[in-house]
Every structure is written in C-alpha cells, then in structure tokens.
Amino acid sequence: MSRAVRFAPLALLLLVLAGLVWRLARPSDSTVPSKLEGKPVPVFALAPGIASKPSLSSSDLATGRPHIVNFFASWCVPCITEVKLLQQLKERGVSIEGIAVRDRPEDIGDFLARNGDPYERIGSDDQSRVQIAMGSSGVPESFIVDGRGIVRYQHIGAIEVSDVPMILSKLEQAG
Amino acid sequence: MIAEAGLAALWLAAGLAALQLVLMIAALRADLGAARTMQSIAAVQGGLTLIAFAMLLIVFARTDLSVALVFENSHSAKPFIYKVAGAWGNHEGSMLLWVTVLSVAGAFLALLSRRTSQRTLVAALGAQAALALGFYAFLLIASNPFARLNPAPFEGRGLNPLLQDPGLAFHPPTLYFGYVGLSIAFSLAVGALLTGEVDSRLARAMRPWVLGAWILLTLGITAGSYWAYYELGWGGYWFWDPVENASLMPWLAATALLHSINVLAARGALKAWTMMLAVIAFSMSMVGTFLVRSGILTSVHAFAIDPERGTFLLALLAIYVGAAFGLFAWRGASLKEGAPFELVSRETGLVINNLLLSVILAIVFVGTLYPLFVEAITGEKLSVGAPYFNAVAGPLALMLALLVGIGPLLAWRRERRPMFKQLTVPALLGVSALVFTIILAPGMHILPRLGLMVAAYLAAASVLPLIGRSPFRAPLATWGMVVAHFGIAVALTGMAMNAAFTSETLAIAKPGEILSAGPWHVQLQDVTPTAGKNWTALEATLKASRGEGLVTLKPQMRYFTDPPTETNEAAIDTFWNGQLYTIVGKADPNGGWQLRLWWKPFVTLIWAGGALIALGGALALLGHLRRLLRRRREPNWRGRYA
C-alpha cells in the first residue's frame, strides 16, 4: 500500500477535527439573521385593520424617518404585554405601524381599547400574506424599517423591557 | 451512601483500566505473560461499572432528590418504569451507561476470546482499557452522575414527556449497546495492527462482535424510526436529522465491515481495508456521540448544549481515532494482501458492496457536517435536508440493492457458471413491477417507481441461495443472510409505497364534519377532556370507515404539568395494507379543531423489513456461535472450515 493511501485517513481526520474545533471555539449563536435585513420591504397594500384608522401599505414606510412595523393579533397573549411597552416607545416619539394577522376588526377594536393603541396605521393581513413575504413566522414580531423603506432589523417574539435600549439604538442607526 | 458507592466503584474501575493499559505496554515490550492478569482485571473492571450503574438505577428508582441528576430528571409522580428509565434518559446517566457497556464488553472479550493469539488479545485488551480510561475521565471530571445537592429539594423537575414512552425508554440503550459493541472490533483491529497478526483467525474472532453490535444498531434504528413516526406526530419515519444520521453512520460502516470481514475470514484478503473499516465503525460511534452530546449541530433532538463537554469528547475522539489512523499509517505497509481473486467472483461482489456502502457513508457524513464547514468558510448558515440525501444516496442504495441479489450467487475466487439464468425469475418480477406501476400510477416519481421494481426483483433474488439445495441443510448463516436480504426488499417496498401513495388531509373540522383521506372517510364526533397520572389532555373521537366496518380513533393533545409541555399523541390504526394516522391539534376560534389525517399504504413494511434484517443477523450470529461451540468440543480441529 502506498504511503499516500496509508496517510490519507489521518489527513482527513485532521481536516474534520479542525472544522469541529473551530465550531466549538465559537460562542454558540443559534439565531439566524433575517435574510431581509438590508433589503427593501416587499411591496404590499393592506386593507384597514380597523375602521377608525388609516390602512398600511409599503409606500407608507419610505417617508424619510424610521418606523417599527409590528405584527400582532388580538388572539395573541404575549402581544398584550408587548403593546403596553410599544405605547411607551410611542410616547418617546417612535412611529409604530401595526399589521394585524388573521384578525377581525371588532376584535382588534376590543384589543386596542383594553390594552392601549400605539399604532399610527393598522393594516389587516387576514391571510398572513405580508407576514410570509416579510419572513415572519409568528406573532408578535417587529421589524425596524429605515426612512428609505429598507429592513434594518427583525425582532422575533415580544419586545421586552430589556430590549428597549437595543431597539432605540437600532432606530437611531436606521434614522 | 448509595451514590457515593457508585462513585467509588467508578474511581476503582478507572484505576484498574489504567493498570490494564500499563500492563499491556509492558507485556508487548518485554514479552511478559500478562494475559491472565489482564483478563482478571478486565473482568473486575466490568463488574465495578455494573455496580456503579446499578447504584444509579437505585437512586432513580427511589427518587433520591439529594442527587442532582435525579432532581433534574425525575419526579415523584412519574410512573415507576419511567423513573428507572430516567436513569439513562439524560446526559450523565447515558454516558455512564456507555462506559458500563464499554467495560462489560471488554470483560466479555477477556473471558470469551479463545480464538486470537495471546499477544493480540493482550494488545486488544490494552486498547479497550485505553478507550475506557478516557470515558471514565470524562464522567469523573466533566459529567459526574452522582453529584449531590445540599439541601435536598422537595420535588424533582420531571422528565421530558416525550421520553415517557416505552419506545424511547429502550431505544437509546439498544443503540448504545450497538455503538459500544463496535469498540471490540476497534480494539481487536488496533491490537492486530500492533502485533501484525491480521489474518482469518482474527476475522473470525471479530465477526460475532460486529454481528452482535450490528443487530442491535439495526434494531435501535428501526425502533427509533418507529418512535419518531408515532410519537412526534410528523407522520414521517426518517428525517435525515443530524442525530438520526449519527446512528446511521456507524450502521453503514458496520454493514460494510460485516461483509468485508467475511472475505478476510474465508480468503484472507482485504486485510488493510477490513482493519480500516473496523476502526472507522467505532469512530463513527464516537462521532455520533460527540455530535449528539456537544450540541454542535442544530437538531430536533434538543439535548443540553455544553461546550466544555463537547471539547472533552472531541479531545477523546482526536486521541483515539488519531492514534488508530496513525497506527494504520505506520503498520499498514506490513500488511500483505491475501489470496488473489478474479474479476467475476464473490470477492469482487463484496468489494463493490463495500465501495457503495462507503460512498453512501461519505454522503451522509458530508451532508451532516456540510453546514458546519460552509459556515466556517463563507459564514453563511444553511441546513442540508432530505432532498439532498434522498437524491444522492437513494440511487446508490438502489444500485446496492440490485447487487444484493447477485452477490451471494457468486463463487469465491472465480465464478465460472453463467449467472443470468438463475436471475431470470427475479428480473421478470422486477420488470413486471415496473410495468404495473407505469399502468396503474403513471404520475409516480421515478425513485419510488424504481424502488418498487428493485424490491420485487430482490424479494425473489434474495431466496435463490436456498434454491437448488435442501433448504434445511443449509447453514444457519446462509439462512440469516437470506432473511436479512429479503428484509431489505420488504423495507424498500414499504418506503417506496409510502413515498408514492400516502394521502394527507389537513383541515379544520367541527364536530359532525366528515373529512376524507385516501379511501377513508373520517368523522369528528367530539372533543373531550381526559387525564392521566401526570398529564391532562383533549381527546378527539374519530369514526373512520372505508365502505365496510367502522373504527374509532382517539388522538390526543396532551399537556404535561412538570415541566409544562404540550405533545401530540397520534392515534394510529394498523390494517394489513397500511396505517391510518390521525392527529388532533389546536382549537379554532369558531369551534372547529385542526385535524391531520394520513392514509399510508404498506408503511408498516418499513419496520417489518428492519426487524427481518435484524432477525437475519441474529440467525447468522447463532450459526457462527454454534459452529464455535462445536469446534471447541473437537480439540484436534484444524482450519477445516473456511
């Protein structure tokens, strides 16, 4: 048996080990960054989610200042606590747009009356089409969109108090 | 006291393993007659680990919450059998089980092996001790199963409810016995490379171990696949998940080894290759354990991720596999290839079998680790899924199945008879299966279509070795081979049928509504609450019919309280020609329920085939062991059987 053949397994092993060591040495980061970050928001125009507010379309986002686009639903329990925090963000001057996923106007009205209403506009995404186009898989989820309508950040799950400084700095970067 | 006794037994066993390793080095250098001593040490070491494992079982059976591991993984309200099974349903306990099997296997090697030379046995026992020593260190330093909590808490943290299932209580130990059984093949190969005694005698000594480990791996994989099928509620039997691949890779290597070992035993050929495979088979077991236990790859099997343990296991892997490969590089040149063979011969058939199995193994290995390497080089995150594995490994597996029908008919060294006459009936069957599928299901995908064709051919071809002679005078090993090869045809039929003819319905139904899945009409009667010992559930009552008769299915959505978890309990009804598989999901705000129904024709053949393959292995093992015993009774026997 030639020398090359005899040493091949050892060489292959070293290669695999090098890869595994590299992977172990890195801090484990299981979050997959959104593929949409750095890309424009997909084009959409939604029906109004509630009669008393304007509806939302993608053109409403490219207005020169950053927005938070928040996917929520009246049937979503974590959204109740999140919407109160969004209210505080609004009071600090952040513009927040809502997209109600698979919801009904009367339920949205009840939800906002009970928990507060931070939204400038609310679109109704009754078939989850926009949600899927944005690469979102559940509610609540929030996107930071900059003044040119480009997605800068995707936040999966409810925004918690501890996330607020990070959200504000992302907004600042986007602005 | 019990936990401390277990810990003490482990420390003692580790000390003995170190002694065994030192004795091996001394014996090989100075030609000391250390074999007897080492055999005793190996036996005592095996006994000590058994004691340690028994102590762990006792603390779990008593729910002794002062032991941290019991607190983390058990609960006083859990059914007794799962309390005991909880002992190995966690990282530390399963590693203790791993070490126990490793050293008990070493003890059996020491006590039973009469076939290798004393020198090779000494070297192999030393290698086994080196393996055990590393894993003792891992347990004692990085994952002590007997660590205490002070003060003891009042209640445990429960067990993952998915694990409260008889299938899962016994599937991991089966796999572990298989994984670790391969360690003996590894140690024997390392021993033989050290002493240079790679011959047919070694192959015959190694064969029962490989066969035994392979049977358990086959059973473990089959059981795991069925468990995933009915417990996870996804309706699939194989997901190409990294943890599944971790069990498949040693199996593929062991399957190749099982075949090449026969060439070495019968003809003294393929020496270097067989030794390499023996090393690779156990290396794959270690890679599997590392992948599962380090959490380096994202998997549906959510095990705790711990980089320290991962590093430790990786270091062990690097030492053992590196040493074995290094030994191969160093000693490989001295291996002389055995008896020559011609192009058309059983040897060639087995070489092609080995090549195909090795390529499939490489495909699975690369597919499993590919995401890691892509991320290392380009930084992009991706996952490799079923489409890759099916498309790349599927055709090769079919080619292999074609060969399985031919190989056993070939003679050793040189085949002179024309082969094709014997294969007429199987070939005709295959072609008619193809024609049938084209007529009955013109839209069928190519891979399942070819799968059905090959399965029909192989079902007939696999029994040919028994035709033309009196079947009951054929050796048991031949029977074993026939049964195992027939099992491949059976499993292949199930897989192809499942891929081609499954019908699925996902809908929201209100009580009274009727849905259809394949030939079945299923009516949702109602959904009612129910409760078990540590769970509550919503249970749907479904009435299903396909023309005649009426069956009732009761799928559940279970809520476990501690830890709070939801699981889907599928209700499955098995018929001779398939399974009706039903799942109930969440309620819809309008009073409906999510229902998922599958009609899966002949899906049970997949696991029946797996069981047949394992049964074939068991028959072959019985045959080899019987021959071994018979030979022991004839002291003057000399190399008559090949």
B373 contacts A19? CB cut-off 8 A: yes
Say what angle helices B200-231 and B166-195 make with each other, to 10 degrees: 160
Rounded to an integer, what distance in angstroms lies between the CA atom of residue B494 and that of residue B492?
Answer: 5
A57 assigned to some structural domain: yes
* Residue A67: domain span: 33-174
CA angle B283, B287, B291 (to 5 degrees): 170
Rounded to an integer, what distance in angstroms lies between the CA atom of residue B175 and that of residue B284?
Answer: 13
Rounded to an integer, what distance in angstroms lies between the CA atom of residue B178 and that of residue B185?
Answer: 11
Work out the minimum CA distance from B333 to partner chain A, whole angstroms: 6
A75 assigned to some structural domain: yes
Contact, B97 vs B173, CB < 8 A? yes
Q: Which residue of B has its CA nearest to A27?
A: B307
A25 assigned to some structural domain: no
B276 contacts A9? CB cut-off 8 A: yes
Work out the minimum CA distance from B273 to partner chain A, whole angstroms: 11
A16 contacts B295? CB cut-off 8 A: no
Give me the phi and psi of A154, to 5 degrees please. -120, 125
Largest CA distance in chain B: 84
A4 assigned to some structural domain: no
Q: How many CB atoms lie within 10 A of CB A163?
A: 15
Please give the interface size between A and B, counted as residue pairs whose CB atoms are below 8 Å apart. 57
Residue B501's identity, in one-letter code, is: F
Which of A1, A10, A21 is nearest residue B314 as measured by Cβ atoms?
A: A21
Q: Is A75 on the interface with B (CB under 8 A)?
A: yes
Structure tokens at B13: 């066993």
Chain A residues within an 8 Å CB radius of B280: 9
pLDDT the model gives residue B384: 75
Work out the minimum CA distance from B448 to partner chain A, whole angstroms: 32
Q: Which residue of B has its CA nearest to A19?
A: B373
User: In terms of DSSP bridges, do strands B571-575 and B503-509 run parallel, antiparallel, or are they unpaired?
Assistant: unpaired
Among residues 11-40 of chain A, which lie with CB inside 8 Å of chain B?
13-14, 16-17, 19-24, 28, 30, 32
Which of B290, B314, B333 is nearest residue A6 as measured by Cβ atoms?
A: B333
B276 contacts A13? CB cut-off 8 A: no
A10 contacts B326? CB cut-off 8 A: yes
CA B397 distance to own-chain centroid: 18
Q: Which residues of chain A have pLDDT under 70?
A: 1, 26-34
Q: Is A51 on the interface with B (CB under 8 A)?
A: no
Q: Which residue of B has its CA nearest to A2?
A: B333
Give me the phi and psi of B592, to 5 degrees please. -100, 170
Work out the minimum CA distance from A88 to partner chain B, whole angstroms: 31
Run of H or E including B319:
helix B307-331
B295 contacts A28? CB cut-off 8 A: yes
Rounded to an integer, what distance in angstroms lies between the CA atom of residue B189 and that of residue B321?
Answer: 12
pLDDT the model gives residue B302: 45
Which of B272, B296, B322 is nearest residue A23 as measured by Cβ atoms?
A: B296
pTM for the whole structure: 0.82
A116 assigned to some structural domain: yes
Cβ neighbourhood burial of B301 (10 Å; 0-12, 13-18, 19+):
middle
A60 assigned to some structural domain: yes
Among B165, B267, B261, smallest CA distance to B213 is for B261
A18 assigned to some structural domain: no
Overall domain count for chain A: 1
CA angle B565, B570, B576 (to 5 degrees): 160
Chain B residues within an 8 Å CB radius of A31: none
Q: Which residues of chain B have pLDDT under 50?
A: 300, 302-304, 636-642
A41 assigned to some structural domain: yes
Rounded to an integer, what distance in angstroms lies between the CA atom of residue B545 and that of residue B597?
Answer: 13
Q: Which residue of A has its CA nearest to B331?
A: A6
pLDDT the model gives residue B642: 35
Rounded to an integer, what distance in angstroms lies between the CA atom of residue B368 and that of residue B386?
Answer: 11
Cβ neighbourhood burial of B434 (10 Å; 0-12, 13-18, 19+):
middle
User: In terms of DSSP bridges, do strands A95-101 and A122-125 run parallel, antiparallel, or are they unpaired?
Assistant: parallel
This model of the complex carries an ipTM of 0.75
Give me the phi and psi of B263, to 5 degrees please. -65, -45
Give me the phi and psi of B63, to 5 degrees please. 50, 55
Q: Which residue of A has its CA nearest to B375?
A: A23
Work out the minimum CA distance from B214 to partner chain A, whole angstroms: 23
Torsion B217-B219-B221-B224 (CA) sign: negative
Structure tokens at B18: 């170190």
Q: Which residue of B has its CA nearest to A5?
A: B329
Q: Please tell me what DSSP assigns to residue B577.
A: T
User: What value does the CA radius of gyration of chain B take, rounded to a whole number of Å?
Assistant: 26
Contact, A69 vs A132, CB < 8 A? no
Rounded to an integer, what distance in angstroms lies between the CA atom of residue B530 and that of residue B527?
Answer: 10
Looking up residue A82, the CATH number of its domain turns out to be 3.40.30.10
Contact, B145 vs B197, CB < 8 A? no
Q: Which residue of A has its CA nearest to B336?
A: A1
